Structure 1
Amino acid sequence: MDKTEGLRDKAASIKERETLGQETQELLDELLEALAESERSNRALRRAALKAAGTGGMSTRLKDALYE
């Protein structure tokens, strides 16, 4: 189970136990989606970095993106 799935489970548990306002629930869902998208992007960058490393080095743009 990845980190995002664990956080989704915790959020669902909180939603069941607590009375959250609609705005709070929407914010929580948006944050979880942003986290999931960041993880997908990170995986893609890692794959690109590994592929570039196999060909002799990373491009400057890729290095800059990874260091951000």
Structure 2
Amino acid sequence: ANRSKKIKQQEANIFFVSDKCLPQTIDVLKTRSTPLGIELIIGDFSTFQFTDNVFGGIVQYPDATGQINNY
């Protein structure tokens, strides 16, 4: 899916990816984000701080380790 025109105009180009997502999911996101000019930030969902440049994010449920988090 492409980003909306409104998001493009706002210069929001960062998408958060939980480091607990399955490796194949992260790989697909990396492949798809590059040609669209989207920067991926891969990290811990519990410490990530959303800013105006972040337009979305993804978490895994249950995560890659089998843990169920209360998002």
Same fold (TM over 0.5): no
Where is the helix percentage greater, Structure 1 or Structure 2?
A: 1
TM-score (norm 2): 0.30
TM-score (norm 1): 0.31
**Larger Rg, first or second structure (1 or 2):** 1
Higher relative contact order (CA 8 A, sep 6+): 2
